Each structure stands twice: as C-alpha cells, then as structure tokens.
C-alpha cells in the first residue's frame, strides 16, 4: 500500500464469476448449469438477491465472524432470519461453555453478543460490557468415566440412590486461571467439578471437587492467584479476552516468525520441517475433552506406537554423534571410551539417561 502496509491483490466479483464459469463443464450433477466452485449465498442479500459487500474478522482458522457495515459504520453480524440464510459466526472454543444468562437453555445467543463486542473493539467502536462478564466461566460435562464418579463419593455418601449423582448425569466444570491453582496441587492433574445447578449466582458457593484426588475446594473470581484450599477460576470476561487474542499456531507474521497473541494483519503459512514420525492411536479423539478443559495436557491422551526404524536415537542422534570425535564426547559427557565406542558402533544401546546426556552434548556443541 502507499503507506507501507501489507496487502493482497483481491479478485473482483466479476473475476470470481468468470473463474467459476470455467468449471461448469466439470459439474458431475444433473443440473449442468451450476459450477462446482460454489459462491456462497452469504454474498447475496436474502431479500433483493443482489450481491453485497461482506466483511470478515478472523482470529484463527476456526474462529471467525462474517459481518456487514451499516450506514453509521457499525458492524452487523450475518444472522439467520435477519439479514442472512444462516448464522455466520464461529462457536469454536466457546461452545463447551453454558449460557450464562440461562444455563438450562441451549440458546447460544450470548456468543453472538460476545462477537459483537469483539468486532466493536477491533473497529474502535464503543463497547458495552456484557452483564455476565463477572460470572465464573462454567461448562457442562457428563459423568462417563469411573474417575469422575469416584471423585464424587463424598457427595453421594449417606444419600439414597435416587438422590445420588449417577453415571451419565451432568456436572458443572470450571476453568482455573494460569496462576490460580492451589499451591499444593499438580496443575496437570487438577480439575474441579460440582453438582449441576442451573442458577449462575450459586456457582461460586457450590462444593467443588477435584476429580483426580476427590478433595473439596472453594472457588473465587477475585484476586490474581489461588491460595490453600481455594482456586482462582476464570470469568466469562477473561475467557472472552483470551478468545479474542488467541494465537494462530499454524500461521506466521509478515516476517515469517510464529504469530502470537498480538499479531495482526496479513498472515502466512509457517514452514514445517519434519524431524521424526510418531504413530498415535485413535485415543487422540479425547482432544474434545481438552477443549472442554477436563484434560489439561494433550500428551495424556496420546497412545504412541514407536517404530524402531524411525526412532529419534537411530535416525537423528546417533548419526550426529558419529561425526564428533570420541575424545570430545568423553570430555563433554564424562562417559568412558569403551561405552561410547560400543554405542557409536551400534553394538549396545545406551540407557535412557545416557541418551539424554549425549543429546544434551549435541546441544552444547550447537549441532542440534
């Protein structure tokens, strides 16, 4: 651009129509008048049928909203029954949370309100904070594992069966801030659940149970960190703020560096270099539980199936070690010559501790 900003050369509506028309001949369907390159109905006014200018705010690949600009410059989301054939804002990353205005309802209109505020902040327009921003961000999870059920033993103790929390009942689930964990817990194995109660004003006062240890904790939405017996949980306002500045891990900025929370403008694809291949099982479908905050580490849901032919020691570390003199390896690692010679020749395999030691030697030498 004349002012130095990056830009793309966009295609005009006429050019897009001409490109789509060239693909009509490849249409395998009965109606031969249509192109296989579909121009979405979002581009056309549902009442007049005329094409209109549509804008998009994209935070990440699955976090976006399509909108129009009215005469006063305000953003208007594409909404079913109002100005479009369907809602065109993403719920990815927010869909696991309950409706803070009416947790019993499946209505997701609060997400529309959140997107309107995000658009207004981006466009520099005045914003009205939502009424629910001070409430703890709460999700709903079913009891589908023995671990979740066992953690509720204290709540079920002394109750008749019909009054107990049973398998496939629902629980409330909250999200702890980064520094909000109690000081005596492992953040990777700490997740609070509580009996399902529809009234948002009661959520803070519920008996919250760590599903890993079964211990009971209190929650708070005030302060900056947790304390002994109390977890500082995220509010809806904090979740939406993180959502608005979510980094696109697959993208790079204009200089080719990984994009971060403050990266804006024209992004590009990151270059990927494959170092090794790891086979994982179908157990990775539990990634949905990670999105809901029930599981905090993706590594805990992977089942790896190592292939000796593609193992890092054989394919990467050992070839690099062979390029370094044995005397240098002895000096930096402190290991005996005989042990190193056997390892480099492939006659023996070092223990895991020695493998990590030799790998650190390569880092010190600047080889990896």
Give the pLDDT confidence of 206-232 residue by residue, as tens digits: 989 888 888 899 999 999 889 999 999
Tokens representing 126? 């005045």
Spatial separation of the C-alpha atoms in residues 344 and 323, rounded to whole Å: 10
Give the pLDDT confidence of 98-140 residue by residue, as tens digits: 898 888 788 888 999 999 999 999 888 888 888 889 999 998 8
- Residue 214 contacts residue 154 (beta carbons within 8 Å): yes
Quickly state the pLDDT bin for 352 (edges 50, 70, 90).
Answer: confident
Q: What pLDDT sits at residue 88? A: 95
Structural element, H or E, at residue 269: strand 268-269
* Domain ranges for the chain: 13-122, 138-234, 274-305, 309-364
Structural element, H or E, at residue 16: helix 13-22
User: CA angle, corner 10, sides to 9 and 14, nearest 5?
Assistant: 130
Buried b (16+ CB within 10 A) or exposed e, 274-284: eeeeeeeeeee
Q: What pLDDT sits at residue 148? A: 65
Q: What pLDDT sits at residue 213? A: 85
Structural element, H or E, at residue 337: helix 337-345
Spatial separation of the C-alpha atoms in residues 233 and 226, rounded to whole Å: 8
What are the phi and psi torsion angles at 281 (to 5°)? -90, 180
* Model confidence at 288: pLDDT above 60: no
Chain centroid, CA 284 distance in Å: 14
In DSSP notation, 38-70 reads ---GGGB-TTT--B---EEEEEETTEEEEEEE-
At a CB cut-off of 8 Å and minimum separation 6, what does 128 contact? 117
What are the phi and psi torsion angles at 25 (to 5°)? -65, -20
Spatial separation of the C-alpha atoms in residues 324 and 366, rounded to whole Å: 12
pTM: 0.74
* Model confidence at 299: pLDDT above 80: no
Query: CA distances (Å), 70 to each of 67, 73, 76, 83, in order?
Result: 10, 5, 7, 12
Query: CA distances (Å), 30 to each of 18, 26, 33, 34, 40, in order?
Result: 22, 12, 9, 9, 20
Q: What pLDDT sits at residue 282? A: 59
Neighbours of 14 (CB within 10 A): 8
Neighbours of 260 (CB within 10 A): 11
Q: What pLDDT sits at residue 47? A: 92
DSSP 77: E
At a CB cut-off of 8 Å and minimum separation 6, what does 203 contact? 135, 136, 138, 172, 174, 194, 197, 219
Give the pLDDT confidence of 68-88 residue by residue, as tens digits: 998 887 889 999 999 999 999
Q: What pLDDT sits at residue 40? A: 92
DSSP 33: T
Spatial separation of the C-alpha atoms in residues 68 and 83, rounded to whole Å: 9
Tell the residue number behind the tokens 């005596």, with chain if given: 184
Q: What pLDDT sits at residue 232? A: 95
DSSP 146: H
Buried b (16+ CB within 10 A) or exposed e, 191-209: bbbbebeeebeebbebebb
Instruction: Give 212: exposed, middle or buried? Use CB within 10 Å, 0-12, 13-18, 19+.
Output: middle
Provide the phi-psi class of 352: left if phi over 0, else alpha when psi is between -120 and 50, else beta: alpha
């Amino acid at each position: 651009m004349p002012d130095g900003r990056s830009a793309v050369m966009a295609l005009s509506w006429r050019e897009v129509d001409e490109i789509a028309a060239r693909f009509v001949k490849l249409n395998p369907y009965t109606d031969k008048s249509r192109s296989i390159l579909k121009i979405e109905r979002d581009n056309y006014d549902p009442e007049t049928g005329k094409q209109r200018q549509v804008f998009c705010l994209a935070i990440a690949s699955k976090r976006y909203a399509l909108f129009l600009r009215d005469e006063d410059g305000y953003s208007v989301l594409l909404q079913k029954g109002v100005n479009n054939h369907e809602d065109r804002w993403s719920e990815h990353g927010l869909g696991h949370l309950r409706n803070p205005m009416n947790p019993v309802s499946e209505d997701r209109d609060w997400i529309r309100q959140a997107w309107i505020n995000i658009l207004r902040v981006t466009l520099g327009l005045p914003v009205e904070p939502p009424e629910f921003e001070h409430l703890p961000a709460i999700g709903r999870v079913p009891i589908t594992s023995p671990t979740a059920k066992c953690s509720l033993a204290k709540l079920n103790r002394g109750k008749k069966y019909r009054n107990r929390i049973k398998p496939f009942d629902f629980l409330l689930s909250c999200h702890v801030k980064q520094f909000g964990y109690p000081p005596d817990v492992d953040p990777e194995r700490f997740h609070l659940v509580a009996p399902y109660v529809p009234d948002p004003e009661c959520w803070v006062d519920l008996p919250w149970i760590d599903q890993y240890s079964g211990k009971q904790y209190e929650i708070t939405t005030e302060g900056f960190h947790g304390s002994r017996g109390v977890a500082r949980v995220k509010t809806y306002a904090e979740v939406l703020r993180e959502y608005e500045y979510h980094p696109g891990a697959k993208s790079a900025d204009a200089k080719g560096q990984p994009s971060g929370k403050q990266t804006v403008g024209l992004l590009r694809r990151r270059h990927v270099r494959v170092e090794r291949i790891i086979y994982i099982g179908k157990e990775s479908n539990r990634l949905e539980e990670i999105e809901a905050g029930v599981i905090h580490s993706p590594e805990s849901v992977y089942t790896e199936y190592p292939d000796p032919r593609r193992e890092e020691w054989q394919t990467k570390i050992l070839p690099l070690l062979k390029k370094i003199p044995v005397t240098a390896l002895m000096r930096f690692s402190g290991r005996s010559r005989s042990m190193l010679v056997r390892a480099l020749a492939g006659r023996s395999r070092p223990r895991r501790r020695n493998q990590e030691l030799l790998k650190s030697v390569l880092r010190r030498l600047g080889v990896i």
